[in-house]
Amino acid sequence: MKKGRILSGMRPTGRLHLGNYVGALENWVRLQQEGWENFHMVADWHMLTTGHEDTSRLQSDIYEMVLDWLGAGLDPQRTVIFVQSAVKQHAELHLLFSMLVSKARLERVPTLKEQIRDLHLDEQTISYGHLGYSVLQAADILLYKATHVPVGEDQVPHVELTREIARRFNHLYCQDRPPVFPEPEVQLTHFPRLRGLDGNRMSKSVGNTILLSDSPEEIAARVKQAYTDPKKIRAKDPGRPEADLSELDAEGRPLHAGCVVFEYHRKFNSAGAAEVARLCRVGELACVPDKSQLARLLADGLTPLRERRARYAADPDQVRDIVADGNRRARAVAEATMDEVRAAMGLKSSTELVK
Ligand code: TRP
């Protein structure tokens, strides 16, 4: 007996980094081992909502991301790995759901507001598709009647809207029949916010990340650049692993927000982190050896992922088969749901239409 069905997805951004791993992927793999029924989707249509002009890298970004999923341990036997645009039912359900949500409700979705701010978009020029981002996400989730949606905090508003849509649909169209949709629950992924190696927000475009596919040499080179404690100049100077609250900037933030190398030790070296901090504080651990120790640890930790990834990468046909199979399995579930949706709404099923 499975514990329930989970659905989660990512927009295809190409090769994934450590933040994607601790923020999502690691959790998906854990849920898979714990006996959930996993569906994981490459949200390529969602990708278009903020970048539809240049699609030249879309297919390779999808491929590289799927390799990272497989490398991280998603098992295609147990888990359905599929691409959103290969399952047209997402578009159909998105269209039907779009009747059930007001424009004002969508304008209140906090993630949309944040994107407008962060990407410096003009509210007046937001596309119809972008406004409907969360409606498409609701279709993603409900097509599979997922009971749980494992996501980070930032996605909670989307799952909330999904629940509203499920409730509204069941209320409107299922008076005389069992409800079509469950109200899916958020399964929050708790993880320490990992900063980029330079101490800023982690972003692949800035290059302050470690990719899951990086070699030990690349990892060592990247960790060498990491932000530590600017006041620790000589090896024997005492360091400040944690944020220093005695010196604040004009906005009240600590000038030294903590050593990133230590932050990574805490996440990836939980047994050794306290000793690292102690030696650093008393000036017995210099940054250079501290960094090489961390680099080695990360490289070792990522070795199984990197090797599994390389085995799949050596056989692209196998990867394509895995996705094709996932698409088929996803389509079968999606079409069964759509049959119920069409019947409940008084629309004809696709087979009746051709008669
Ligand atoms: N919006 C999600 C993100 O940016 C990606 C996504 C698309 C998703 N569809 C989903 C996540 C369905 C969970 C469930 O991370």
In a domain, 210, yes or no: no
Q: Kind of pairing, strands 185-188 and 148-151?
A: parallel
The confidence band for 324, taking pLDDT boundaries of 50, 70 and 90, is very high
What's the CA-to-centroid distance between 221 and ligand 1, angstroms?
32
In a domain, 86, yes or no: yes
Model confidence over 14-38: pLDDT tens digits?
A: 999 999 999 899 999 999 999 999 9
Mean of per-residue pLDDT scores for the chain: 93
pTM of the model: 0.92
Same domain for 132 and 182: yes
User: Which CA distances in Å does 268 have to 194, 220, 295, 300?
Assistant: 11, 15, 11, 11
Q: Taking 90 as the threshold, does the pLDDT of residue 114 lie above it? A: no
Instruction: Report the residue among 8, 38, 93 best suited for mutation to probe ligand 1: largest number of ligand atoms under 8 A from its CB.
Output: 8
164 phi, psi to nearest 5 deg: -60, -45
What's the CA-to-centroid distance between 79 and ligand 1, angstroms?
17
Protein residue with its CA nearest to atom 9 in ligand 1:
137
Same domain for 154 and 281: no
CATH of the domain at 92: 3.40.50.620
Same domain for 279 and 263: yes
Same domain for 106 and 83: yes
CATH of the domain at 262: 1.10.240.10
Instruction: Report the residue among 84, 153, 158 best suited for mutation to probe ligand 1: largest number of ligand atoms under 8 A from its CB.
Output: 158
The confidence band for 311, taking pLDDT boundaries of 50, 70 and 90, is very high
In a domain, 179, yes or no: yes
Please answer whether residues 187 and 157 qualify as being in contact, where contact means their C-beta atoms are separated by less than 8 angstroms: no
- Res 349: pLDDT: 67
Protein residue with its CA nearest to atom 14 in ligand 1:
8
Ranked by mean pLDDT, the top range of 113-122, 181-190, 201-210, 319-328 is 319-328
Same domain for 276 and 178: no
Pocket residues: Cβ below 6 A from ligand 1: 7-11, 43, 46, 137, 140-141, 149, 151, 155
- Res 104: pLDDT: 95
Same domain for 322 and 298: no
Mean pLDDT across the stretch 169-189? 95
Measured in whole angstroms, how far is the alpha carbon of residue 90 from the centre of its chain?
A: 19
Mean pLDDT across the stretch 216-232? 94
Which atom of ligand 1 is nearest the CA belonging to 10?
5
Same domain for 57 and 166: yes
- Res 50: pLDDT: 82
In a domain, 204, yes or no: no
Protein residue with its CA nearest to atom 6 in ligand 1:
9
Same domain for 175 and 272: no
Instruction: Report the residue among 11, 114, 135 best suited for mutation to probe ligand 1: largest number of ligand atoms under 8 A from its CB.
Output: 11
Range in 143-152, 171-180, 212-221, 342-351 with the lowest mean pLDDT:
342-351
Q: Taking 70 as the threshold, does the pLDDT of residue 355 lie above it? A: no
Q: CB within 8 A of 107, min separation 6: which ones?
A: 131
Q: The domain containing residue 87 runs over which residues?
A: 5-194+316-345
Same domain for 261 and 188: no
Model confidence over 233-285: pLDDT tens digits?
A: 988 999 999 999 999 999 888 999 999 999 999 999 889 999 999 999 999 99
What's the CA-to-centroid distance between 152 and ligand 1, angstroms?
10
